Amino acid sequence: MSKIVTVFIIVYIVSVAIFLGKVKDVITVSIANDGVKALYNKSYFNGKTTEGRNTKMLPIGENYAHILIFLQISDIHLSMFQDPGRILAFREFCNTTIDTIKPVVVIASGDLTDGKYEDGMRTKEFEEEWIIYNQTLHENGVLNKTLWLDMKGNHDNFNVHKHESGLYGKYSVQGQRQNGSYLHTVVPYSEKKWSNPSEKYSFIAVNAGLRPGPKAPWNFYGKVSEQEFVRLEEFEKIGRASNGTIWFGHYPTSFIITKTNQNIRNLMSQAAAYLCGHLHTAYGMAEHMYTVQHSGLLELELADFKISRRFRVCVFDHGVFTFTDVEHNVWPIILVTNPKNVLFNNPADLDVAKKSTHIRILVFSPAKIQSVTVQIDDGERSECRHINGPLYVLKWNPSIYLEGMHEITISASDETGRKFVTSHFFAFDDSSMSFSFLGRLALMINAVSLPYGLYFAASIATVLPLIGLRILHKLVKCHYISLRGITSGLGECGTAILRGFWVTATVNKLFIPLVILPMYLTLGPWSFDYLLDGSRGVAFAWGTFVEETFLPAAFSYVFDGCVQIFWFHIPFVCILSVCVDKRFRLLCWKEPNLSPFWNNVPLIILVVGQVLIASAVATCTGQHILFLGYLQKYSLVYGALLWFFSARLQRIHFRDAEAVWISPCRGRFIPQDQLFPSYSQETNDHES
């Protein structure tokens, strides 16, 4: 037994080392605002002026020129079964919104369709949903009005085999032309009359969809393959000749798996921004997910169109990138391009803004705009002058505002009486503000390493205490330390809790399975099932094999590993220790068992919860997993067997524990031969 304990100690010391090594990569969020701002300014400024990039900044005046307007919409989730309002809202977007804003480009960054059955659990591509998407674009003439750049998300990639493009390749706009990452270069309206325009902007789509695309829940993370990364490197070199580059994709960079020497954030660091979706609003906890990565990349996640009905209006105005996130059918839309929000300052833009002669505002509404007014700080409200299209300007002197932070408030109204007011802070010095912490956390945390860290932490928290108590028991038994010294200060309740775990650790029939389980979860396999229709796969904690392809795991650590440990194994160990302690006191201390039925109620509740989890997993991936997956069926068998053993433990099984936990009486420990005079005789009878 000592050899087994030694092996597990070594294994888990290594696990602790691995976990601590992951901690550095898990949380990469700098809390200090000044630190993030300094990183952003330094890397962004240096990146924008090296390696031959077109960095010519145009002077900002009052003319309607050098303006490129584009939109982003994400996570539309067109569904056959859920919320018909999504389809109606999407049609309005393709009709009224696009006709009003007149964007040069529209980015649809993934999850175009829902891909779920009516129960919301089972996943599959539905051709009807894709037909609705395709017909909506064609019926409203969208492709004649703008350049539509769509990219598949994980919901567009459910149950897609390795050598198939799925319905995305048949019905999407860009999927019919290429099934991977792609690049498009466009010019502003004012430049289209020239055969050799002086301005151009690049849009690079990042395809991080898994190939093959398994069913839920194995399809939550994205992956950029080596071949795809090389393709993106070529696009990045082409984009350097542009006045500005926008990267976009479905997954935030924190949810994209790449090789360690292929950092997707570094590759995109010279871009104006990376636009993505996927996280929606994190169940309402983070309405605005914006951050600047340590590489200098401005990353902007967009709330979903599915429920939030949000979309993003973006513009390059004289080379300066600005944006605003707005709610569908809320008019007028106001976008201030100069001066820009202090949250998104960078030195290159500030140099131009300091020399600008006019405040520039884009205002959009289906109805005619009646008035646009501007107020800075507590100054007077001034009426803006309409130049052309959506552009309104107001002459100003930026030198007045060179120090400190200032607030600009814009109010716009149209002829139907609709009015909208917005404001933001701007600054021309080192003044700064911070992004939302939860939003930054979601985008900057290493969500690939985090599941590994959580899983190892859960495993260590489960096993090391039992091993530690086993070692502690040996030390007490050999009189190296005293039990009285350990329990002093714990109180009656604390001592009872400690005793339950302690006694459990001394019973080999229970200790060995409880320690081996987390090791099995680490090595797997977890299930053998049809991860795609017609293709059986093997799921491990560290990855999935399906169609002769290895898909690296991340979400499976959370979905199965952490759920199994936190929701089953840890509660099970706690409940089992209580049952073992009561059995110990019944046999060794002769205490009556007053409520044998209620002792098992927590275990029954735990089993019911595990059955519900098993049912949910079976619904997602298929009924086979109930019979072929360890985590569902065999964990229940494992738990039932250990509970059966614990309920039928005999006094001989507690011999080791009894040598240490002699019942206290009147503040002292009674010698064993006085408290249990029949112990020696029972032992001799059992041995004979």
Residue type for position 117: Y
pLDDT digits (tens, 9 = 90+) for 466-489: 888 999 888 888 888 888 888 887
pLDDT digits (tens, 9 = 90+) for 219-246: 888 989 888 999 999 999 999 999 999 9
Residue type for position 573: V
Could you tell me the pTM of the whole model?
0.82
- The overall average pLDDT reported for the chain is 81
Count the alpha carbons within 13 Å of 47 in the hemisphere toward its beta carbon: 25
pLDDT digits (tens, 9 = 90+) for 316-343: 998 899 999 999 999 999 999 999 999 9
Q: What confidence category does residue 284 fall into, taking pLDDT thresholds of 50, 70 and 90?
A: confident
Q: Which of 13, 11, 24 is closest to 450 using CA atoms?
A: 24
Q: What confidence category does residue 669 fall into, taking pLDDT thresholds of 50, 70 and 90?
A: very low
Tokens of 54: 């077109």
First to last CA, the chain: 24
Of 19-28, 165-174, 403-412, least confident by mean pLDDT is: 19-28
Q: What confidence category does residue 571 fall into, taking pLDDT thresholds of 50, 70 and 90?
A: confident
3-state secondary structure 547-611: CCEEEECCHHHHHHHHHHHHHHHHHHHHHHHHHHHHHHHHHHCCCCCCCCCHHHHHHHHHHHHHH
Instruction: Note whether 563 and 612 are within 8 A (CB).
Output: no
* pLDDT attached to residue 258: 83
| Cα gap 398→376, rounded to integer Å | 11
DSSP state of 81: S
pLDDT at 414 over 90: yes
Residue type for position 445: I
* pLDDT attached to residue 148: 97
Domain boundaries, the chain: 28-52+67-444, 449-687
* Mean pLDDT of the region 236-262: 89
* pLDDT attached to residue 687: 43
Q: What angle, rounded to 10 degrees, do the helices at 570-588 and 491-506 form?
A: 90
Q: Which of 544, 576, 570 is closest to 557 using CA atoms?
A: 544
Instruction: Note whether 140 and 91 are within 8 A (CB).
Output: yes
Pairing mode, strands 273-276 and 244-249: parallel
pLDDT at 643 over 70: yes
Neighbours of 423 (CB within 10 A): 14
How would CATH label the architecture of 28-52+67-444?
4-Layer Sandwich (3.60)
Q: What angle, rounded to 10 degrees, do the helices at 570-588 and 449-477 form?
A: 20
Contacts of 370 (CB under 8 A, 6+ apart): 413, 414, 415
